[in-house]
Chains A and B, each alone.
Chain A
């Protein structure tokens, strides 16, 4: 049985008086693609931001590859990679320079060049990698950012709505890139409100509503449990 690389236990997160995450608990196994599924405002992004070390924990436990947050945030940042939902890149840089800038935080000299080459390969933008990012389409920008997120071979990739706003072809390519990453040893935690998409992509999913997990398991098992033809129907039944 694969070991657990991410443990989230009774996670609570408040924004002032607003409770955004309400006692969330789940585990992610090594090399799997785990999806947090739920509507807008369910608490998915907040959970991912907490795990990515950029938001403080109100209460609960988060452990990434044995490192506990927030005490060992520095160690966690070395092994994770986070792709925010609406992330952008520095507009005055070319795609290649941007990848080089990001790679410089993970190594020097030859190591940096290796990482950049990997990023270029994943992004697969051809000659456009040498153009300024402010000339990129949304799909190209997302591919560049996915390349950035996965080029460092992170042990845990945290991807917030990785295909959001993309057309069918671009979305499929991004999904293929994510699937390939797990073959290289990366564990993926992603969020999506596209419940049909995650059926094809995720090994296991957790359905979130109002900051709480309402159901968790493999997509096929959940469909069977709720006698539903897709995850959307599972979600409707689970929150009812």
Chain B
């Protein structure tokens, strides 16, 4: 008998979960996710294209009016080695003005970035060492987008390389150790960073922060997305129940209120997690290009999570999602319809965005006291804080966060159950028009279904 009753309960819960998932997985909800994936895919493609542009040799033209010489040759060799010379002339080939017009046309036709003119006396000016020599550069810019400056930037880079080579040639000419003269001391190969008052790591702060950047960005964003998707789903679900006038019927079915609440939470979080996973895969693919350059292995320098760390982080994320969903059920009970449900997402957005931005750019331990209190009070901060604290072996903060989130979630669930057992879900607040008068009682703006 008890087994049969349990089976029925599971059936009811399963039905509610299935209904929630079906209701939330519509084209209206799937399409934005697909769009995001496509956009990230396209952006990834653009960045791949940019990387190819950076790796590709820029196209240039050159007019050499200086003939040959040590420094002129260094410049020409550098340009020739790092760029594709599609136009190469000397003053013997004609009038300079005509050569420039011709060169610009040819380089432009080839999609080139610049025409360089080495003036007469370039080599001698450098050799004399009394004043700076100069070359003339005519840039060809086909677009004004950020990435359109890549070819011209590559040419600038080549000129820097040539300048450095000429400097070495000049210094080397005096017989000294060129590297020592150019950089008399170094610290990069022998630096240690003391992180958070302990844990010496044999790397510079920039390298460490760079290596942690992916994690610093991805975890807060991931948590924010999961909470916002799942929480938004719960609020929307409540709004739809009210808009479609289905809530009253649902509440008279032989199913416990807590099963309705559980069904809504499980269904919404399943959809939210699935959407967040798809989103994160696309985002991870997009972000990979930005942070792949770090050579620092976090495991080797002792900055990785152990089993306990992962366990605490998993519990922390689960509690944050559960707490958010319970909060959203409470918020959703105020929704009158789908539109007002979207408005109620506001507090949730604020409560996830604030900790996300703070933890992306600052560590909990370096925040001022007020900042620490605010961040700790926001329950969704804790997985974000924990992900970093656990890396440095700090268990106290994540464990306190777990206790706080458990308390918050419990309170929210109790409030949600109380609301589902009360009149509030169906009947809005009734307020008096004038204090102390029994007449003139009206149903306030929050009334949803007027009593008859």
Residues of A at the B interface (CB closer than 8 Å) are 15-18, 20, 40-46, 49, 52-56, 74, 77-78, 80-93, 101-102, 104-106, 108, 148, 191
Give the distance in Å from the alpha carbon of A77 to the alpha carbon of B421 in the complex.
Answer: 14
B237 to chain A, nearest CB (A): 11
Interface size on B, residues (CB 8 A): 35
B246/A17 in contact, CB under 8 A: no
Residues of B at the A interface (CB closer than 8 Å) are 7-8, 11-12, 14-15, 18-19, 22-23, 26, 244-246, 248-249, 251-256, 422-423, 426-427, 429-432, 438, 441, 443, 451-452
B452/A42 in contact, CB under 8 A: yes
Residue with the greatest number of chain A CB neighbours at <10 A, chosen from B251, B426, B429, B441: B251
B249/A87 in contact, CB under 8 A: yes
B452/A40 in contact, CB under 8 A: yes
Given pairs A54-B248, A85-B452, A101-B18, 15 additional interface contacts (CB within 8 A): A15-B430, A15-B443, A16-B430, A17-B438, A20-B452, A41-B452, A45-B451, A78-B254, A87-B245, A90-B244, A90-B246, A101-B15, A105-B15, A105-B254, A105-B255
Given the known A-B contacts A17-B441, A88-B245, A92-B22, are A54 and B251 also in contact in the complex, defined by CB atoms under 8 Å?
yes
When distances are taken between beta carbons in the complex, the residues of chain B under 8 Å from A191 are 452
A115 to chain B, nearest CB (A): 13
Given the known A-B contacts A15-B423, A89-B244, A104-B11, are A77 and B252 also in contact in the complex, defined by CB atoms under 8 Å?
yes
Give the distance in Å from the alpha carbon of A77 to the alpha carbon of B438 in the complex.
Answer: 35
Given the known A-B contacts A88-B246, A90-B246, are A54 and B426 also in contact in the complex, defined by CB atoms under 8 Å?
yes
Give the distance in Å from the alpha carbon of A90 to the alpha carbon of B245 in the complex.
Answer: 9
A69 to chain B, nearest CB (A): 12
Residue in B11, B22, B252 whose CB lies within 8 Å of A108: B11
When distances are taken between beta carbons in the complex, the residues of chain B under 8 Å from A108 are 7-8, 11
When distances are taken between beta carbons in the complex, the residues of chain B under 8 Å from A43 are 451-452
B252/A54 in contact, CB under 8 A: yes
Residue in A15, A18, A77, A90 whose CB lies within 8 Å of B253: A77
Give the distance in Å from the alpha carbon of A102 to the alpha carbon of B249 in the complex.
Answer: 9
B19/A18 in contact, CB under 8 A: no
B252 to chain A, nearest CB (A): 4
Give the distance in Å from the alpha carbon of A56 to the alpha carbon of B426 in the complex.
Answer: 11
Residue in A20, A83, A90 whose CB lies within 8 Å of B451: A20
Given the known A-B contacts A54-B426, A89-B244, A104-B15, are A46 and B432 also in contact in the complex, defined by CB atoms under 8 Å?
no
When distances are taken between beta carbons in the complex, the residues of chain B under 8 Å from A17 are 430, 432, 438, 441
When distances are taken between beta carbons in the complex, the residues of chain A under 8 Å from B426 are 49, 54-55
Residue with the greatest number of chain B CB neighbours at <10 A, chosen from A53, A78, A91: A91
Given the known A-B contacts A40-B452, A104-B11, are A56 and B422 also in contact in the complex, defined by CB atoms under 8 Å?
yes
Residue with the greatest number of chain A CB neighbours at <10 A, chosen from B248, B249, B441, B452: B452
When distances are taken between beta carbons in the complex, the residues of chain A under 8 Å from B11 are 104, 108
B245/A86 in contact, CB under 8 A: yes
When distances are taken between beta carbons in the complex, the residues of chain B under 8 Å from A20 are 451-452
Give the distance in Å from the alpha carbon of A50 to the alpha carbon of B452 in the complex.
Answer: 12
When distances are taken between beta carbons in the complex, the residues of chain A under 8 Å from B255 are 77, 105
5 tightest A-B CB contacts, nearest first:
A45-B452, A16-B430, A88-B245, A104-B15, A82-B252
Give the distance in Å from the alpha carbon of A30 to the alpha carbon of B22 in the complex.
Answer: 39
B252/A52 in contact, CB under 8 A: yes
A74/B254 in contact, CB under 8 A: yes
25 cross-chain CB contacts under 8 A: A16-B431, A17-B430, A43-B451, A43-B452, A45-B451, A46-B452, A49-B426, A52-B252, A74-B256, A77-B254, A81-B252, A82-B248, A84-B249, A86-B245, A87-B249, A88-B245, A88-B246, A89-B246, A90-B246, A93-B22, A101-B15, A102-B249, A104-B12, A104-B14, A191-B452
Give the distance in Å from the alpha carbon of A145 to the alpha carbon of B254 in the complex.
Answer: 17
Who on chain B is nearest to A104 by CB? Answer: B15
When distances are taken between beta carbons in the complex, the residues of chain A under 8 Å from B8 are 108
B419 to chain A, nearest CB (A): 12
When distances are taken between beta carbons in the complex, the residues of chain A under 8 Å from B12 are 104-105
When distances are taken between beta carbons in the complex, the residues of chain B under 8 Å from A88 are 244-246
Give the distance in Å from the alpha carbon of A91 to the alpha carbon of B241 in the complex.
Answer: 10
Give the distance in Å from the alpha carbon of A15 to the alpha carbon of B451 in the complex.
Answer: 8
B73 to chain A, nearest CB (A): 75
Residue in B14, B252, B422, B451 whose CB lies within 8 Å of A53: B252
Give the distance in Å from the alpha carbon of A90 to the alpha carbon of B432 in the complex.
Answer: 35
Who on chain B is nearest to A112 by CB? Answer: B11
B5 to chain A, nearest CB (A): 11
B20 to chain A, nearest CB (A): 10
Give the distance in Å from the alpha carbon of A128 to the alpha carbon of B429 in the complex.
Answer: 40
Give the distance in Å from the alpha carbon of A104 to the alpha carbon of B430 in the complex.
Answer: 36
A45 to chain B, nearest CB (A): 3
A183 to chain B, nearest CB (A): 24
When distances are taken between beta carbons in the complex, the residues of chain A under 8 Å from B19 are 90, 101
Who on chain A is nearest to B432 by CB? Answer: A17
Give the distance in Å from the alpha carbon of A84 to the alpha carbon of B248 in the complex.
Answer: 7
Residue in A16, A40, A91, A106 whose CB lies within 8 Å of B429: A16
Give the distance in Å from the alpha carbon of A105 to the alpha carbon of B254 in the complex.
Answer: 7
Give the distance in Å from the alpha carbon of A160 to the alpha carbon of B134 in the complex.
Answer: 92
B79 to chain A, nearest CB (A): 65
B452/A82 in contact, CB under 8 A: no
